[in-house]
Structure 1
Amino acid sequence: MPRILTDERRDLVTAIGDFCRRECGPERQRNNGEPQHDQEVYEKMAELGWLGIAIPEAYGGAGLGMTDLCLFLEETSYWRAPVSGFGTTIIAAAGYEKFATDEQKNVVLNGVVNGRVEAISMSEPGAGSDVGALICRAERTTGGYLVNGQKTWCSNAHLADHVLLIARTAQEDSKHRGLTQFMVPTDVDGLQIKGIDTMGGREVNDLYFTDCFLPDSAVVGTPGQAWAQLMTGLNLERMILAAMMLGVARRAFDDTLAYVKQREQFGRPIGSFQALKHRIADLATELECARLLLDDVTATIDANPGEVFARETSMAKLKCTELAKHMTLEGMQMMGGYGYATEYGMESLHRASIVSTVYGGTSEIQRDIIGKTHGL
């Protein structure tokens, strides 16, 4: 089914493809264990106005909605553009836009439009899916707070100008109370950022805070209300990850299809054998279902600003991330040894897809949320 796009969105899709073919050659697209963020490419996108796609016009952005943002994320992921810093940047930017002071907004949102990277830090060694269990403390002191503790799995902190930190400022009856958000410059005294080696390279980090002083002006929003503030951003985070993984799934499908059409065994293209033909048909159908779901949810969000669609966004995140993981595995299987080889890039797509069912709320958490919306 052809995708129905406005002229402006169709032009954006075409422009992203042209840019990536020109600026992000095949070697960069494969990202075989190399850093997945190229600041030079990122800043060129900033010059084109793309990084401000969802930033309000008052701060130099385009002020567009979820549909346009997800289309941009999907296309840059499809083309394997080395701009991995954008996802966390736009998540953090949304938090600043809703709750930050004018001064904080001017620094962060204008920076995003001009190609700066931002990060957000919630997880700790003992607080992953259960974010409310975090224990990193920010204790009141003269003129501000002293932060002590460890955060982990912080994506892009090593690239970011600031980390939007969630820390405990008070011990309340409920674990979801007494949490506060802070704008933390990554070069502040008392903060050590240490990369974590993963199968996808070094995108995530441990953060160690040792008597790290943050002035009162570093507080983002209302002290003690970080949990409520975080809940307003769930739509965005889930949709960002869904869109990125839909792009990965599309790329894996297209690369697999091209391979089975070209590769010959037993005197004929392997895609002509019924076993592979039927697998391709099933994958094509699943891809179309995921795309239709994502398009429907983005349109619903844009038509109802301010509302939280927990079920729908969880469905989109669950479907697109699980499909990307399945699609890349199927691609590796159908490509045989070449799917395992870095030369062809399918293994890189698979590495990119695996973590997507974990970060931003695991698939199990998404299923739990969906189940609760049905009264279970």
Structure 2
Amino acid sequence: MGSRLTEEQSAFVAAVADFAKRECGTRQQRDALTGDGRGAHHPGLYGRLAELGWLGVCLPEEYGGAGGGLADACLFLEETSYGMVPAGGFITTVIAAKAYERFGTEKQRHEVLSGVVRGDVLSIAMSEPEAGSDVGALRCRARRAADGTWLIDGQKTWISNAHCARSILLVARTGEDKHGGLTMFHLPADTPGVEVRGIDTMGGREVNDVFLTGVRLPADAVVGQVDDGWRQLMAGLNHERLFLASNMLGLARRAFDDALGYVREREQFGRPVGSFQALRHRVADLATEIECTRLLVRDVALDCDAQPDRLFPREASMAKLKATEVAKRAALEGMQMMGGYGYTTEFDMERHLRAAVVSTVYGGTSEIQRDVIGKTYGL
């Protein structure tokens, strides 16, 4: 991938890597920024990324962005993940921002996208207690009042970054048709009737329940068209799956490099443990898998940039499936190669594993990705 970058992209990657090394390069720095690994997002550091102009890397210039493509956003996600930069709010932000860019009104785009460039975090709320992989089964209801406003009641769950979001891209039911009755809404997080409750996970504070009780939104809060939310969601799957894939590609690289550094130094029976064939072959296999993943993610991103109006359901699902499964394998293999030390909180490998395992669940499980890929072959 490195040899295929433009000169500008190479400079961008180098700048992000330098920032990560300078601000998050030591365990002490990372612990201070994340509350000993319990937080995935640091507002202060995120604000500095905004000051550097990086949060708008793939947003239009008229809203303060850099005007880059999906490939540029993927590079940013990969490098910040590799550098363990606590900017966990960026993934949901860029996913939601691309939906506003494509379907929002000019007023919405100006407000939301300009805010993203300045450092606002966005969240997207789809999943519910009875609607996870089957998003079309959601029950959160938006009813149009006589004055044209919308009244919304319901619950969302597993909502990433809702606790630090300025606004939430809400998907609610406005009609009875399973897929044809969904609508997207622009929901400021401080709207009366919105309650965010954190869900404790082994990854720390990342996801939330969001309760909506008598929430009232203006008529112009609709993003796109009423009852067209399903089609709009499907149009953004390329973005979501690519961004998640890029994030996990960075984590896979970091887990690999951490394990490699350990087996080069750790000695048993008078020599580095990495010199034994059992570990040397593991390293070779992992390196090959990560390089294959890198090439796949990069190729899909470039295809999406070249044909922005085309859906790539097979390729985007392949990228998400491959990158998340490889990240999980890299962390598990890294823990095995490091032995007991990989299991301790003294080293980062256990953090890598916690972050990698859940990646095969969110954004569409690995099973869902395989099902999507299979259907594109007529199965």
TM-score tier (shorter) = over 0.9
Unaligned residue ranges in structure 2 (runs of 5+): none
Matched, 1:340 2:343: yes
Trace 1:60-99 onto structure 2 (pairs within 5 A).
60-99=64-103
Instruction: Look up the match of 1:11.
Output: 11
Query: Normalising by the residue count of structure 1, what TM-score does the alignment of the two structures yield?
Result: 0.97
Residue 122 of structure 1 pairs with residue 116 of structure 2 = no
| Alignment-derived partner of residue 353 in structure 2 | 350
How far, CA to CA, are the matches of 1:222 and 1:169 in structure 2?
A: 11
Asked if 1:166 corresponds to 2:171, the answer is: yes
Contact map agreement 2:77 2:250 (CA 8 A) in 1: yes
What one-letter code is carried by the residue in structure 2 that aligns with 1:12?
A: F
For the residue of structure 2 that corresponds to 1:149, the secondary structure is strand
* 1:312-340 deviation line (CA, Å, top 9, x unaligned): 11000000000000100000010011101
Distance in 2 separating the partners of 1:321 and 1:275: 24
Q: How do residues 1-376 of structure 1 correspond to structure 2 at under 5 angstroms? A: 3-27=3-27, 28-29=29-30, 31=34, 32-141=36-145, 142-172=147-177, 175-376=178-379
Counterpart CA distance in 2 for 1:220 and 1:61 is: 20
Counterparts of 1:13 and 1:75, CA distance in 2 = 7
Contact 1:256 1:331 survives alignment (8 Å): yes
Report the AA paired with residue 15 of structure 2: A
Helix, strand or coil at the partner of 1:146: strand
Judge conservation of contact 2:317–2:373 (CA < 8 Å) in 1.
Answer: yes
Q: 1:63 Cα shift?
A: 1.2
Q: Distance in 1 between matches of 2:17 and 2:172?
A: 40
| Cα pair 2:182 2:229 within 8 Å, conserved | yes
Which is further off, 127-136 or 58-67?
Answer: 58-67
The offset of 1:4, in angstroms, is: 2.7
Q: In structure 2, the residue corresponding to 1:14 is in which secondary structure?
A: helix
Q: Post-superposition shift, 1:284?
A: 0.8
Native 8 Å contact 2:2 2:10 kept in 1: no
Stretch deviating more after TM superposition (5-14 or 160-169): 5-14
- Aligned amino acid, residue 158 of structure 1: H
Offset at 1:69?
1.0
- RMSD value over aligned CA atoms? 1.2
Letter in 1 for 2:243: I
Measured after TM superposition, the shift of residue 3 of structure 1 is 3.3
Contact 1:29 1:79 in 2 (8 A): no
Secondary structure, counterpart of 2:205 in structure 1: strand
Instruction: Give the superposition deviation at 1:154.
Output: 0.5
TM-score by length of 2: 0.97
Deviation at 1:29, TM superposition (A): 3.8
Counterparts of 2:376 and 2:30, CA distance in 1:
39
Letter in 1 for 2:265: Q
In the aligned structure 1, how far is the partner of 2:334 from the partner of 2:246? 20
Mark the CA change 1:85 to 1:2 in structure 2 (over 3 Å): closer, same or farther. Answer: closer
The share of aligned pairs that are identical, in percent, is: 61
TM-aligned CA deviation for residue 2 of structure 1: 5.6
For 1:307, what is the secondary structure of its paired residue? Answer: coil
Determine the C-alpha separation between the residues in 2 that align with 1:221 and 1:2. Answer: 38
SS at match of 1:237: helix
Conserved 8 A contact 2:30-2:37: no
Do the aligned partners of 1:33 and 1:199 also contact (CA within 8 Å) in 2?
Answer: no
Amino acid at match of 1:302: D
Opposite residue 166 of structure 2, the aligned amino acid is: D
Distance 1:220 1:300 in 2: 26
Q: Which runs of 5+ in 1 are unaligned?
A: none
- Offset of 1:55 from its aligned partner? 0.6
Query: Any idea what SS the aligned residue of 2:199 has?
Result: strand
What are the superposed Cα offsets for residues 255-278 of structure 1, whole Å, 9 maximum, x if unpaired?
A: 101100000011110001111111
Are residues 2 and 189 of structure 1, via their aligned partners in 2, closer, same or farther at CA, if it must alter by over 3 Å?
Answer: closer
Q: Post-superposition shift, 1:33?
A: 3.3
Residues in 2 aligned to 1:181 and 1:201: alpha-carbon distance in whole angstroms:
28
User: What is the Cα deviation at residue 292 of structure 1?
Assistant: 1.1
Give the AA of the match of 1:37: H
Q: CA deviation at 1:25?
A: 4.0
